[in-house]
Amino acid sequence: MCGIVGYIGNREACPILIGGLRRLEYRGYDSAGIALLNHEGNLNVYKEIGKVANLEAHLADKDASGVIGIAHTRWATHGVPSVRNAHPHLSQSGRLALVHNGIIENYAPIKQHLSEQGYTFQSDTDTEVLVQLIEFCQQRDNLPLHEAVRRALNEVIGAYAIAVVDRQEPDMLVVARQSSPLVIGVGEDNSEFFVASDATPIIEYTNNMVYLNDGEVTCLRIGQEMQIHTLQNEHVDAQVQFVDMSIGSIEKGGFDHFMIKEIYEQPQSMRECMRGRLLASRHEVVLSAVNLHRAKFLQAKRIIIVSCGTSWHAGLIGKQLIESWCRIPVTVEYASEFRYSDAVVGPDDVVIAVSQSGETADTLAALQLARERGAFLMGIVNAVGSSIARTTDTGIYTHVGPEIGVASTKAFTGQVLVFAMFALALGREKGVIDTQTYEHVIDELSRIPDKMETVLRQNDYIADLSKRFTYAHNFIYLGRGYNYPVALEGALKLKEISYIHAEGYPAAEMKHGPIALIDGEMPVVCIATHHQLYEKILSNIQEVKSRGGRVFAVVTEGDESVCKLADYCIQVPETLSPLAPLLAVVPLQLLAYHVAVQKGLNVDRPRNLAKSVTVE
Ligand code: F6R
């Protein structure tokens, strides 16, 4: 989704802004632009279609100077990708430049009104309407920029993170947010400020950050405390947080792509996620979320998990873990459907939102609905300080580190691990899980990182196998029980980055329809690790083989039966069924990665996709 970067200080803004846009490239975009302002009030705007590199090339022979600037990567919503529709957008007089992430829902009536006042529009965007509205308020009431922004935003319905500069006030940068993320980095003694959609472009300059809340407008001036006001003009004190993130964690570190780096990081990210929570020597799981809200969780009549995409798949595994170990009924809902449903939710329910970015618009809206109906809200989030983390009553961070590759990998295993620890802790509090199982799972969880390392050693073999599948136009993924969501996740990974159509099914469902698709051209990925349904999935594999399908199986080390039938077998170490997804998903991530690499595709930034889906 769109990315915003802003700077005000005494350095040249352009390199900071371009570097920042590069750091936000992972979010997905189709055009990029920059506006630079100097203290004399010269405002220049440059835009290009395509990559940030195109914008950089365009700037090469320009005098791109200025100590205040705003920059943007656009992911088209209103109007096709084009230079005309790219941000920054200028106001009618050319005095204001604005970048925007989000959607102004009532842009049409505002546009109509402004047209009647003589305003004309150069683009098809909702954003241009907003910048014209700000100028209209500014001129009508003779207001300073920050006040005009506040007035204009009071007339707007929708989601936005914005940054605005004014060539007649070349000493300030004004930013605001409503339902779209925005972070401000604070330089020493307020000597400079950095603005961005997330912390990644800022972290190389400062760890001190302020996360704006919804409905806040902020005026940034060099050497002065930032001034934050609500839309109702109440003053808000800035809460500066120290964000503990290293530059190394957002760079590729010798890998060809972020995705493969992040797949390889999983043993370590599992350790980070368990640190201080899974106390193996004491056979204990300690989660402050559960300890602090014990009564809420013990009273819960039902748990509702809301999420999207990969996070929804993790939720499906979470459901099985919680139902098994806590005996609380769980439903798993697509956040996008839940938000518009007439869901029966109330004070006896706990709603768990699962999200890597913590900014997914549908998930946030689902939480809003649950909040209105009195449910207790918990987040399982990766991005520290993100909107979902701040909206929920409590939460458990996955702590797997920044995930830059658009296809989610380590976030998924982190989410599953958090669900496992949560279900253990709550099952223990409820006295439902027996001591032997509790301790056995804890022991086994502590071995998962090493076992993942064993799986990763098969990377070269999987890379080699992937060459045999690049021809395919369709894949089927089959799994049962805990491995059914793994089948869904494997199929999603392949679709996203290799553009091969893939479907995941519970294996037994195959004979109710999808079996008609199977022929010698159809690769079928079967997740057939040892568990109670092993014999059943063996029969399903037989059914595929007898129709000529090519089977790629993920099995437990030492397996003989499936390996005799399958065309290709990847072995993963033995573990408990409920933890099998943590190992079984890794070969599927690698398979998707290598097929996409073989096809020469842009693995980290697949077409049409955004890392952080901040619009509905
Ligand atoms: C898939 C993927 C998406 C996200 C989904 C939710 O690889 O990344 O399906 O899982 O957009 O995003 P978050 O988890 O940030 O809420």
- Between the CA of 74 and the centroid of ligand 1 the distance, in Å, is 19
* Beta carbon of 367 within 6 Å of any ligand 1 atom: no
> Which pLDDT score, from 0 to 100, does residue 532 have?
77
Best probe residue, ligand 1, of 197, 386, 408 (max atoms within 8 Å of C-beta)? 408
Do 66 and 14 meet the contact criterion of CB atoms below 8 Å apart? yes
Name the burial class of residue 368, with classes exposed (0-12), middle (13-18) and buried (19+) by CB atoms within 10 angstroms of its CB: middle
What pLDDT, in 10s, does the model give residues 449-477? 999 999 999 999 999 999 999 889 999 99
Instruction: Kindly report, residue by residue over 114-146, the tens digit of the pLDDT.
Output: 999 999 999 999 999 999 999 999 999 999 999
pLDDT grade for 438, boundaries at 50, 70 and 90: very high
φ, ψ at 230 (rounded to 5°): -80, 170
Q: Which of 346, 320, 328, 380 is nearest to 506 (CA)?
A: 320
Q: Which two tokens stand for residue 180?
A: 């779209």
Helix locations, 174-283, DSSP H: 258-264, 266-274
Ramachandran region of residue 436, left (φ > 0), alpha (ψ -120 to 50) or beta? alpha
357 lines ligand 1 (CB under 6 A): yes
Question: What's the pLDDT at 607?
Answer: 82
| pLDDT (0 to 100) of residue 10 | 95
Burial label for 596, CB within 10 Å (0-12, 13-18, 19+), is: buried
Domains and CATH numbers, the chain: 3-252 (3.60.20.10), 263-449 (3.40.50.10490), 457-598 (3.40.50.10490)
Instruction: Inform me whether the pLDDT recorded for 59 exceeds 90.
Output: yes
Q: Is the model's pTM score more than 0.95? A: no
The Cα angle at residue 480 between residues 474 and 481, in degrees rounded to 5: 140
Decide if 2 is catalytic. yes
Whether the predicted pLDDT of 608 surpasses 90: no
Distances (CA, A) of 381 to 4, 178, 182, 384, 614: 22, 20, 17, 7, 15
Cα atoms in the 13 Å half-sphere on the side-chain side of 176: 29
Instruction: Give the residue ranges of DSSP H helices in 499-579.
Output: 534-545, 561-565
Measure 238 CA to ligand 1 centroid, in angstroms.
30
Cα–Cα dist 32/14, whole Å = 13
Residues 6+ apart with CB under 8 A from 512: none
Which whole number is the average pLDDT over 31-53? Answer: 94
Using DSSP, state whether 2 is helix, strand or coil: coil
